[in-house]
Structure 1
């Protein structure tokens, strides 16, 4: 079961919408809002969520207190960049989400708690969590905005489930599609014919070996369909200029 993302006293609707987008990027949909400053629903959040991520906002639940938002949670991680006097395990996002996967695999319910934009979580909020998440960033500028923090958490949660390579979008352009064997053969034939006409294969007794070397060269190149068209066009232009 996925982690619940709890936003405590979020201040700007735009940031809530951006957080919803970050969640859906990595398949997270359980958003919980604790006392949002500008009330709920928020038109600015809806506008920022932009399309599909609106469904995260549609099913977001609003609570008056953090304790109520955590009522069904077995283990919670509080995100904070500041040192705390509270004694708790401190983890990176990767460590925390690895721990979360282990807990959810045995039926546990986990949550990640994010504080308001201006000052982050208060000690009373952090005290309700079981562990702290701190992102190892530049110590001279440790602040992340709300959506960035949610995005990092979402990525670390889902990265073992993500595809090894980005998914292609729609039809691949010819510049990315490998040339077929026939296309490479026709290209090799075209160049061999024109080079023969130009007297390139000289002396005649060396011509077979030179043609073999050239044919082998074409087959070694990782040509795309677009590459073959360029090479054909280059040769036609050269012949035309002669």
Structure 2
């Protein structure tokens, strides 16, 4: 029994330049996609320019399905998406790439076979190609310049696919082997600063000293300090004391 695919097939319909096919392969593999299909490439197949541009993603070209027309390329699919920037006068749902790949992930998880159509560089998909699709993917581009390069469109869609199937935090901090400072360590730093500022006569006049110390404590609490940060600030304070003593 043939296992069901775990990702969509990306179908390049009548691509013109080998470089763009290779660029599309690279874009796909950047985001873990390897099911490429090529429909009637203008310059024949295989294409040495595509192989050169694909670089480390050449195996996608080696394994790519070659088809004479779009209908053959999507014959076994249960849901087909078509990327286009033009209005086609057809009643079809139109999704952003993000929503389309969210929908695709759900369909594939449910056992469906999914494909995404990408048109040739010069004209995009023909109306006959769009007719085969269940859903249109429309990128919210500049309306005065809506045309996307083939490899760019593949890259954008592949990225959105990856976002749906991987648990990638929207924000993280690269700690470079360090840890965040604890509240106790920050409190010790604050006390060290206050001690040195007391000696320097910083807290003046005396009736404002308490509020000045609170402001300093608030400053430390707003800083995302690491343990090395705290250690180096302690070192700075100690060195300042030694420098002052040498000056005396």
TM bin (shorter chain): 0.7 to 0.9
Q: Does 1:143 align with 2:144?
A: no
Q: How does 1:29-108 map to 2 (within 5 A)?
A: 29-51=34-56, 53-85=57-89, 87-92=90-95, 93-108=97-112
Structure 2 match to 1:223? 225
1:19 deviates by: 1.7
Q: 1:189 to 1:103 in 2, by over 3 A?
A: closer
Q: Does 1:117 align with 2:121?
A: yes
Q: Does 1:8 align with 2:10?
A: no
Q: 1:232 to 1:15 in 2, by over 3 A?
A: farther
The CA distance in 2 between the partners of 1:24 and 1:230, in whole Å, is 43
The CA distance in 1 between the partners of 2:219 and 2:134, in whole Å, is 62
1:10 deviates by: 1.4
1:31 deviates by: 0.7
Q: 1:211 to 1:8 in 2, by over 3 A?
A: closer
Unpaired segments ≥5 residues, structure 2: 1-5
User: How many pairs does the alignment contain?
Assistant: 237
The CA distance in 2 between the partners of 1:225 and 1:103, in whole Å, is 47
Q: How does 1:106-185 map to 2 (within 5 A)?
A: 106-165=110-169, 172-173=175-176, 177-180=179-182, 183-184=185-186
The CA distance in 2 between the partners of 1:20 and 1:194, in whole Å, is 61
- Normalising to structure 2: TM-score of the pair? 0.74
How big is the alpha-carbon RMSD for the aligned residues of Structure 1 and Structure 2?
Answer: 3.7
- Normalising to structure 1: TM-score of the pair? 0.75
Q: Secondary structure at the match of 1:136?
A: coil
Unpaired segments ≥5 residues, structure 1: none
The CA distance in 1 between the partners of 2:119 and 2:45, in whole Å, is 17
Structure 1 match to 2:3? none
1:223 deviates by: 1.4
Contact 2:194 2:213 in 1 (8 A): no
The CA distance in 2 between the partners of 1:199 and 1:124, in whole Å, is 82
Q: 1:45 to 1:212 in 2, by over 3 A?
A: same
